[in-house]
Structure 1
């Protein structure tokens, strides 16, 4: 169960964020409204939310998930794969010392975005992507093995991050987008497949028995309901989708 979440407010320069979505420029005011609703949803799931101030220097800094991996026992400060985002990790260690006694950091030449890291029970899946290289993944594996966790590397194609295409819904169940539906690492899990036209909905989050999914994907919502989940809420993240961002990207939950 989670008790806390860290988020960072969208900055006015969010319109300058990295994107390949080709969905138009995000609207800053709408992004603020959607972010506030997202925070409220986390609070309704029982989380105490710490909200960091916007960082105008870093347009993508609202996607706070990428800069740290938080586990029940320790924290890892990443080294983002996009050079323009590496400064986002400055100051996060001071925030995390409030919650953790052990914090480690990914070192050059390793790169790691935590959006490429998915925890499922005592396993961590690590995506090798354009943002996470083999050295970064190797460093994270060594850290996780030290604490007794198993790791599985997943080669990615046509996905920004691992969690762009798959979400763990607890109960040995994975919500899987079309890019990963035939992946070998899924063989030990029940899968719920997301249709191509709703592929954005493959990124959702499980928070204390509630599943939060993006608004506007009714087929995926129905499939999750049919799989036996009865606590599902939706929240609008359309402005963040314009920057390749999804639900998990907007918070660190621990």
Structure 2
């Protein structure tokens, strides 16, 4: 299981709208921690800069990770539609369509379902109307799932993950601070968890260590948002590529990534998408399509 971790063939992304609708920033803002609203004085989104950053991001997926990139058209209802990871949990040939905490996002599920079915995945839907589940609360390590219990995801949402992926252990992790589990952690390499340094991040990491039978390596970074990175293997190579937040954004968090053995580091700026709660993992859906699919 862990030996194949990080192997992908496709990435699904969402195109930005050409312009902002009236009041969209106020409705959809969220900040780095993915909280429920921007609050007074939140920085406005620079749409031109966002287009540049996401263009570079898609280029990294294509050129550095060697993936086929499928771009969905802009979705009505706001910039938070960029955050496709919240809408599906993909592992192997199965995709679980989630039940986002924000009811306004649930209309986006149909377009995601269509592209996943076109790519020949088995698509499962959360049917429990009492469940809430954001994909950014789901961390797959290659061995097991950790599901963050947060303002966005409840225990019934976690049960949907366990019911769908029965071949894996699924454990729940309390998430403090108002954000998602993956707002401060991700897999930096097989068996290595990148983790931020806030109290919420430290408590979540401690819980994961206590819940798991496997001893994961820990890559601690000073900045919580830098704890969200993307690891991918290239073809049959033993190493891989690690996409991390740019040193211009988080200079103190660069050095820890330089200690990860056997990976090529690729920086990516994401400051604009971060204003609506975006992270490197949340702006795409990664999947590994079998050649015979």
TM-score by length of 2: 0.80
In 2, Cα distance between the equivalents of 1:232 and 1:38? 14
Gaps of 5+ in 2: 1-6, 31-36, 234-239, 288-293
User: Corresponding residue for 1:225?
Assistant: 258
Higher relative contact order, chain-length normalized (CA < 8 Å, sep 6+): 2
User: Corresponding residue for 2:226?
Assistant: 201
In 1, Cα distance between the equivalents of 2:57 and 2:29? 21
In 1, Cα distance between the equivalents of 2:100 and 2:158? 12
Q: 1:36 Cα deviation (Å)?
A: 0.6
Q: 1:64 Cα deviation (Å)?
A: 0.9
Higher mean displacement: 72-81 or 84-93: 84-93
Where do residues 1-254 of structure 1 align in structure 2 (5 Å cutoff)? 1-11=7-17, 12-13=19-20, 15=25, 16-19=27-30, 20=37, 23-44=42-63, 45-107=65-127, 108-145=129-166, 148-178=167-197, 179-182=200-203, 183-186=206-209, 188-195=215-222, 198-208=223-233, 209-215=240-246, 216=248, 217-254=250-287
TM-score by length of 1: 0.92
SS in 1 for 2:139: strand
In the alignment, is the contact (CA less than 8 A) between 2:29 and 2:276 conserved in 1?
yes
Q: CA separation of 1:186/1:168 partners in 2, compared to 1, >3 Å: closer, same or farther?
A: farther
Gaps of 5+ in 1: none
In 2, Cα distance between the equivalents of 1:59 and 1:237? 14
In 1, Cα distance between the equivalents of 2:274 and 2:112? 24
Q: CA RMSD in A?
A: 1.7
